[in-house]
Each structure stands twice: as structure tokens, then as C-alpha cells.
Structure 1
Amino acid sequence: MKTSVSTLRIVIVAPENLSPGPDMDAELLEEADRSRSLRIGLLEGGYNIVAVLPSDIYLPERIAQIQPDLIIVDAESQARDTLEHVVMATRDARRPIVLFTNEEDPTHMREAIAAGVTGYVVQGLAAERVKPVLDVAMARFQVEEGLRRELADARSQLGERKIIERAKGLLMTRHGLNEDAAYARLRKTAMDKGLKMADLAQRLIDASELLG
């Protein structure tokens, strides 16, 4: 996901009614200040804020419709429900998630990272820090996705090798071939039919199971 700042489409998930007011207590005032600094930093950084969404049961559907490049969670303290909604919304289509919060609990931080949060920022947010934080989060997400793809490819290759080995065993048993000859027959047949060896091997296994 190589996207420039000018085209990076950001969705903010935030609680409602975080506008500073005379009756706001100290904790809410601190959260309102953080929220204001975050938005200033995004605007100064040239980011494209495509939507500000509440954390509710409709969040997964809205995120699926918007297809943002990055999700920012502007969360009140103890906002576990908010984070759960966001994680559910990105379960099938992973995206970088950056959490800005006043929650300093290390347990909550570990839970957030384990759930898929790419960046976790606690308090003290100055507007000029927003862009560096998001740059790091995007870079980390890209590295993690690369590792995830490599692991998936390795597992797929291992699975294919097991299938091919099993098909080779069937040929060796039924046709009295040695291992090299069985492999050569599989390879040639796959090439002749324009198939991957693993696909041909799976067909052979399926046919063997069907015929007994």
C-alpha cells in the first residue's frame, strides 16, 4: 500500500460530543484537546479525511463502503468497545489502525496491539507529531503485511509439497515406479495439461479416494 499523503483516505472513528465546553470535566477537556490537536495535525499534514464516524453497530458496513486507506481511532478512556468495533470492521480487509487515547494502562495497550492496532499514542499529542506518527504506522503496517504474505506463501508451499508427495506415493504404489519416475510423470502430465503440479496431484488424490 504505497499511498501519498495527498491521496491517503482517512476515516476517523470518534465519540460524539467532544467539543470543549464550560461544564466539561478535566478528563473530557483533555480528550477534547487531544481530538482538536489530532484534526489540526491531519489538516496541516494535507491528509484527506473522508469521514468521521461514530463507533456503533453500523461501523463495519460504513468502513466497507468507504474503503479507507487508514483508520484513526480517537478514543475516550477505557474505549474497548470502540476498538472492538473497529477491529471487527477490518477483519476481512486489513487496514492500518492508529489509536489516539488517554488510556495509559499497559494491559489495554497490549490488548490493542494484539487486536491489530498499528500505532498506539497516549496523551501529549501535538499537532506536528501527527504526520510522523502516521508515517511510522503505515510503514509498520506494510512490513507486517509483507511478513504475513510471506508466511501465508510458505504455508501454501508446504501444503502443496505434502500433496505432491502423497500423489507420488500413489503412483509409486500402483505403477511400481521409483520416486524420481513418479515425480517425472507428475511433472510431465501437469505440463501437458497446463496445470500446476499441486493441482494435478490433488486431482489424482481425489480420484484415488473416489475409486477406493
Structure 2
Amino acid sequence: MLRVLIVDESQERALDLCQGVAAAGHLVAAVLPDAAELAKRVQEIQPDAVLINTDSPSRDTLEHLATLDRDYPRPVIVFSGDDDESIIRRAMRAGVAAYVVDGLVPERVESLMKVAVARFEEFQSLRKERDDAERKLSDRIAVDRAKGILMKARGLTEDEAYHALRKLAMERGRRIGEVAQDVIESAKLLIG
């Protein structure tokens, strides 16, 4: 069972969406009339997913969705009557997992939520892989720079410099990239 936050400016449509969520076996955590302060509300309410029903997502709504995706990522489904390709693309870039055109059919909520959650989880996995790869590259660059500093300052070979960094990292219980960055920062202080 998922806790779902619903955003809809129309109370009547929100009620239909609430019924669709309940019929799918999920819990409606809250209903908001608009996406203003969406990230803040998600932080407070802690829903598992967000469903937005709108005639057309406004620029403000898309900005709120981008902030949500950056700060408190959640699966987001947008039901909209607007099939403008540029709006759909902006919504997807803002972190929307599913964009459904031509309104809401309450009977389809469950399958749409499954698709949105699966797509969200896959995207989060890809994002984590990208972040890990960027961190590893950054660490590798820092290690190479720190090795160069140690080789020059202490007259070490490349292997000796690497082993000195590795030993220091193990002694401090930190990643070698973090220790290398400390060496670089220390060298900046000493050299100027």
C-alpha cells in the first residue's frame, strides 16, 4: 500500500482521484489544491507517490516538480488535458514518471502507479550509477593530483605515493579520494 499525495485545483476531480487511489488499495495521505510549496509539503507529509490532476501544468507547477525531484524525489504521475509535446518534455525533465493525456480514468490508477513507480525506481538506479561514476572519476583525478604532490614533496615513486595515500585512508577510515582531496587542500595552503 502506497501513501499518495494528490494535487488538484478541482475538488470534484480530486474526489474521483481519491476514489481511484482507494480502489487500487492505496491510502490518500493528503489533497492539495495546487503545487505551491510542493517540496515542503512532501517533506512534511512523506508520501510514497504524488498524483497531479491539471488542465495543463503551469510553469510554476513544473518548477515545483523540478524542486521536488531534486530535493525529495518521488514517483509523480500527471493527469492533464494538454498534449503539447514541449510541455510533456518539460514535465518529464522535471521528474514526472508518467504523463497521462486526456484525463483520469479511476480504474487505470493502479496500473499507472505501477508503471510510474517502476520507471521512477529505474531512473533513481541510473542516477545513482551516474553519481557513483562521477565520484569515482573525481576520486581518481584527486588521487593522481595528490600522488604528484607527494612525489614532488617527498621524493616518492608513484607506487610509494599511492601506498602512502592508501595507508592514510585506512588509518583514518575514509575513502582514498577524500584523503587525496585533503592532501591537495593542504598543499594549496602551504604553497599558496
TM-score, scaled relative to structure 1: 0.80
Q: Contact between 2:18 and 2:28, CA under 8 Å: does it hold in 1? A: no
Indicate yes or no: 2:92 matched with 1:113. Answer: yes
* 1:171 match: 150
- Give deviations 1:43-102, integer Å, cap 9, x for gaps: 211110011101154444322210111000011235444343344344311111100111
| Alignment equivalent of 1:10, drawn from 4, 7, 11 | 4
Equivalent position amino acid for 1:207 in 2: S
CA 1:178–1:58 in structure 2 vs 1: closer, same or farther (change >3 Å)?
closer
Q: Percent identity?
A: 41
Alpha-carbon offset, residue 115 of structure 1: 1.4
Alpha-carbon offset, residue 113 of structure 1: 0.9
Q: What are the residue-to-residue correspondences of 1:44-63 with 2, within 5 Å?
A: 44-55=23-34, 57-63=36-42
* 1:70 match: 49
Indicate yes or no: 2:79 matched with 1:96. Answer: no
Indicate yes or no: 2:85 matched with 1:134. Answer: no
Alpha-carbon offset, residue 131 of structure 1: 0.5
Task: Point out where structure 1 has 5 or more consecutive residues left out of the alignment.
Answer: 1-5, 20-31
Q: State the aligned residue count.
A: 191
Task: Point out where structure 2 has 5 or more consecutive residues left out of the alignment.
Answer: none
Indicate yes or no: 2:37 matched with 1:43. Answer: no
CA 1:96–1:211 in structure 2 vs 1: closer, same or farther (change >3 Å)?
same
CA 1:70–1:200 in structure 2 vs 1: closer, same or farther (change >3 Å)?
same
Query: What CA distance in whole angstroms lies between the structure 1 residues aligned with 2:153 and 2:61?
Result: 59
CA 1:168–1:64 in structure 2 vs 1: closer, same or farther (change >3 Å)?
same
Query: What CA distance in whole angstroms lies between the structure 1 residues aligned with 2:76 and 2:112?
Result: 11
| Alignment equivalent of 1:184, drawn from 156, 163, 170 | 163
* 1:28 match: none
Q: Contact between 1:75 and 1:82, CA under 8 Å: does it hold in 2? A: no
* 2:139 match: 160
Query: What CA distance in whole angstroms lies between the structure 1 residues aligned with 2:56 and 2:190?
Result: 62
Equivalent position amino acid for 2:7 in 1: V
Query: What CA distance in whole angstroms lies between the structure 1 residues aligned with 2:61 and 2:172?
Result: 52
CA 1:181–1:74 in structure 2 vs 1: closer, same or farther (change >3 Å)?
same
CA 1:179–1:131 in structure 2 vs 1: closer, same or farther (change >3 Å)?
same
- Supply the RMSD in Å over aligned alpha carbons: 2.1
TM-score, scaled relative to structure 2: 0.88
Q: Contact between 2:75 and 2:96, CA under 8 Å: does it hold in 1? A: yes
Whose Rg is larger? 1
Q: Which runs of 4+ in 1 moved over 6 A?
A: none
Query: What CA distance in whole angstroms lies between the structure 2 residues aligned with 1:173 and 1:127?
Result: 68
The SS at the match of 2:168 is helix
**Bigger CA drift: 129-138 or 84-93?**
84-93
